Amino acid sequence: MQRIEYPQQKDWEDILKRPTQTVSDIEETVTTIFEEVRSKGDAVIKEYTEKFDKVKLESFLVSIEEIEKASAEVSEQLKKAISLAKNNIEKFHAAQKTKRIALETMPGVSCWQEKRPIQKVGLYIPGGTAPLFSTILMLAVPATIAGCKEIILCTPPNNRGEIDPTILYTAKLCGVTQIFKIGGIQAIAGMTFGTEGIPKVYKIFGPGNQYVTVAKQLATKYGVAIDMPAGPSELLVVADDSANAAFVASDLLSQAEHGVDSQVILVSTSEKLLDDVAWEIESQIKVLPRRAIAEKAIANSRLILVNNDNEAIELINEYAPEHYIVCMKNEEFFIENTINAGSVFIGNYTPESAGDYASGTNHTLPTNGYAKQFSGVNLNSFMKSMTFQKITKEGILGIGNAIELMAEAEGLQAHKNAVTLRLKNLE
């Protein structure tokens, strides 16, 4: 990891850069595939599946037989672990339900707000080097609680045309209605436009590589909503001498092993802690099965020494990390003053892995600085707020003249007439 000591604020933008390509580098490829899927449907998706996933498929839809077979291949121990995680995620997301909000803004003018589920949602689950079945829990559980009618899942197959059995088992357990063996840009395009075999959805959820992130952003141009721009995983840890260096290193490596374009950052006021963590990383990385991936991510990463807590929190809010661990003596200061972060983990015994899997919070979070304006996925992500109003005769008499005056001032005569006719009818 690159070590940077006491950087000046004017240099923060450079030292906090993510190791990602710009959208312009990727957009041409994504746009081409979108247009081809839009015009040729399943045929071109099969071509891209053969090209990128090295398998020729006759059908994308996962059969009931495949799901049943997969269930038998998942160990009972893992099933129990998934059940525990599902239970905690259900509890946390069910608690986010809100009641109808209703009030009378003035006599005879009643307004209320209710929430309705998004009918058709698409979930993208990365496969590749790590089949993220945990993301199904994070997306399908709240979608089911919200009452989404259709929950479509796309995930890339391996070169034998198979999906990881744990993905299939978890999808069935969480109420996914259809599963498709499609990955990458073509999966997002398929759910955006709908094809002969893939349903069109109203909103797409899920993380992915930079190509998937840009594909999701492009989907919004065609009337499909997305959860957020969620790209390569990232973690920032702020720690002082109260932190356990081995724990900090393990957290940094847990994110570094996600992918070569992941990034991890340690911010500290302690030179000794930076030294100890650097040593621990060198030691722990040697035994990781995904060492080669982690090493490339670590090369994109930073150890940053700052002067004090105030400087640290300013730098953190500027970076706006996806995952953010606080291991500081003055933890309340950091909790209260953190404005930009996807999900916060506090104390030596709160590993980021807990949020990834089983504590109950959602791990689908904004990356690449988008925590400045986006929330992570939650129950409301799968719902829409709708407003209602009902005005009585008393109400229109009380509010009508104000509406007439405002409409006239804006030059919208028909708006004024809609009220004037009603007021005259009550004379």
Q: What is the DSSP letter of 126?
A: -
Distance CA 167, CA 70 (A): 9
φ, ψ for residue 289, nearest 5 deg: -60, -30
Catalytic residue among 36, 280, 322, 352: 322
Residue 93 is labelled as binding a ligand: no
Q: Is 378 annotated as a binding residue?
A: no
Q: Is residue 233 a known part of a binding site?
A: yes
CA angle, residues 250, 255, 259, in degrees to nearest 5: 135
301 known ligand binder: no
**Residue of 323, 336, 394, 408 with catalytic role:** 323
**410: annotated binding-site residue?**
yes
Enter the tokens of residue 252.
């940094």
Can you tell me the distance from the alpha carbon of 313 to that of 267, in angstroms, rounded to the nearest whole number?
9
322 is catalytic: yes
User: 356 a known binding residue?
Assistant: yes
Query: How far apart (Å, rounded) are the C-alpha atoms in residues 130 and 113?
Result: 41
Is 323 part of any known ligand binding site? yes
Phi, psi of 109 (to 5 degrees): -120, 100
State yes or no: 275 annotated in a binding site.
no
Residue 93: active-site member? no
Residue 211 counted as an annotated binding residue: no
* Tokens standing for residue 243: 């932190």
Question: By CB neighbour count within 10 A (0-12 exposed, 13-18 middle, 19+ buried), where does 290 fall?
Answer: middle
Measured at the alpha carbon of residue 322, what is the angle toward residues 373 and 268, in degrees to the nearest 5?
A: 115
| Burial 293-316, CB ≥16 within 10 A → b, else e | bbbebbebbbbbbbeebebbbebb
Q: Is 146 exposed, middle or buried (0-12, 13-18, 19+ CB in 10 A)?
A: buried
Residue 348, marked binder = no
Binding residues for NAD(+): 124, 186, 209
Binding residues for Zn(2+): 255, 258, 356, 415
Binding residues for substrate: 233, 255, 258, 323, 356, 410, 415
Binding residues: 124, 186, 209, 233, 255, 258, 323, 356, 410, 415
The set of catalytic residues is: 322-323
